[in-house]
Amino acid sequence: MSLSMAMMAGQAQGAGFALMEKNATDLGQAYANLATGNGQASGMIGNPAAMTQIDGTAVSGGINYIRPSFELQAGATSQSAFGPTVGGLGGDAGESAMIPNASIVHQLNERTRVGVALTVPFGLATEYDEEWLGRYHGIESRIEVIDISPSISFDITPDWTVGGAINIQRAEAKLTSAFAFVPPTPPNQNPPTQDPDNSLGGSSGSVSDGHVEIEGDDWAVGYTVGALWQPTDRTRLGVSYHSGIDHKLKGDSEFRLPTENVLFNTIAGPTQFDATAGLDLPPSVAASLTHRFSDTVTGSLGLLWTGWSSFEELRVVQANGQESVTPENWDDTLRVAMGGEWEFAPRWTLRAGAAYDPTPVPSAEFRTARLPDADRIWGSIGLGYAFNKHWSVDVGYTHIWLNDSTIDNSTSPPLSDRLQGEYEGKVDILGLQVNARF
């Protein structure tokens, strides 16, 4: 088991373990306009240069409710050197979450804006039944990365704006899992075998389950730079770069041995150790083209490249001298999105969008139970209403179809366990955003 596995704790709604849900206003367009802004304070989250769209002061705040579902299908197996690992399919591993965001932008002068945003760019969780057949691969997994981004933008010319932000992040992670415990075998006794009734108990010479809980946290800093070009009143092109951020998680790993091995627990020494692991969040580049086709209809095309190839391995070091390395070998990904909005009546705006978001996981060998990631298709719709020139509200809904995905993953030696099967998944997202301008 390793602390570094916590970086893959949640089945996030972007590819890998990224969260796309940066605001509810753009949720209805599947974030096709991520780099060109939305005319509200929340537009700065995708590109700090988009703050140029704000005159005076603007504030946005909202929340996205995410309901994922990930289920291992019948026919799955788990096998170790002691034979089949007995247990159920684990139930629905998806864990619902409420993802908040908030942002404020203030115009200092004709050319300069400053702002700050609070987002959760990585996170969510999975959790299985404690005695499922893949319990050696993971039971509970959680990660949350909170990002605070003070930002500034400057209009170089009436057509060109540049912006930048400092990304101050706190990462927290937790995971639990079972591990096969083999107590010392007395002389003349047969080699260990798995407890046939799958109980957590067992006598000397049998394999029974211990449990491990690992937690860690860290602060780290990165940056974002962006540019926005508005060649005409109807067309704008935006691009932004978010740097990779390397976290050094520090925490502890606590092991719990089977309760019947009281003597062994007494003589085995400490079961809690300090641990450290790297959590390398990938860089990304977003580009969007937005065009206003008429006074009421606007369309956007968006691309998002994420450098997941930097995620080559998971490495953990514990204070007792143990070190483990798990190869990952993820691939870079390119997300493609199209969306638009229609001001169909005074004060009312209808939004719709779609996206294709490929998984960075290269094969079943590198797919894990903690993150059974798969290619996904987004279908989004949204509605906005302006109460007056100062206040507006937006709601958005997205359904994500995940391709069925196979898993053929083995835990680290010496007591390796091989999990094979197929996952089915889907995600529903409902967002609410309140905007104010003064």
Backbone angles phi, psi at 41, to 5 degrees: -60, -30
pTM: 0.87
- Is pLDDT above 90 for 16? no
Tell me how far CA of residue 59 lies from CA of 20, 24, 52, 69, 116, in angstroms: 20, 14, 14, 33, 10
CA distance 110 to 199: 70
- Does 53 or 324 have the greater pLDDT score? 53
Tokens 């981004």 correspond to 149
Confidence of residue 190 (pLDDT cuts 50, 70, 90): low
Q: What is the pLDDT of residue 88?
A: 94
* CB 98, CB 63: distance < 8 Å: yes
- Is pLDDT above 50 for 203? no
Q: What is the pLDDT of residue 171?
A: 92
267 token code pair: 């003589």
- Is pLDDT above 50 for 197? no
pLDDT digits (tens, 9 = 90+) for 257-308: 776 555 555 545 557 888 887 888 899 999 999 999 999 999 999 999 999 8
Q: Looking at 165-179, 279-293, 312-326, 415-429, which range is the least confident one? A: 312-326
CA distance 230 to 237: 6
152 CA to centre of own chain = 26
| Average pLDDT, integer, range 80-96 | 90
| Number of other residues whose CB lies within 10 A of the CB of residue 293 | 11
- Is pLDDT above 70 for 184? no
- Is pLDDT above 80 for 240? yes
* CB 236, CB 228: distance < 8 Å: yes
| Average pLDDT, integer, range 123-147 | 90
| Concatenated DSSP letters of 283-335 | PEEEEEEEEE-SSSEEEEEEEEEE-GGG--EEEEEETTS-EEEEE-----EEE
Q: Looking at 19-33, 215-229, 231-245, 248-262, which range is the least confident one? A: 248-262
Rank 116-125, 206-215, 326-335, 386-395 by mean pLDDT and report only the highest.
Answer: 386-395
Q: What is the pLDDT of residue 422?
A: 96
Shortest CA distance to 206 belongs to which of 174, 240, 183? 183
- Does 170 or 4 have the greater pLDDT score? 170
Q: Looking at 12-16, 405-409, 418-422, which range is the least confident one? A: 12-16
| Average pLDDT, integer, range 179-200 | 54
Give the mean pLDDT of the chain. Answer: 86
Q: What is the pLDDT of residue 173?
A: 86
Confidence of residue 427 (pLDDT cuts 50, 70, 90): very high
| Average pLDDT, integer, range 195-221 | 67
pLDDT digits (tens, 9 = 90+) for 41-76: 999 999 999 999 999 999 999 999 999 999 999 999
- Does 340 or 15 have the greater pLDDT score? 340
CA distance 212 to 52: 50
- Is pLDDT above 60 for 187? no
CATH superfamily of 3-183+202-345+362-437: Outer membrane protein transport protein (OMPP1/FadL/TodX) (2.40.160.60)
Confidence of residue 223 (pLDDT cuts 50, 70, 90): very high
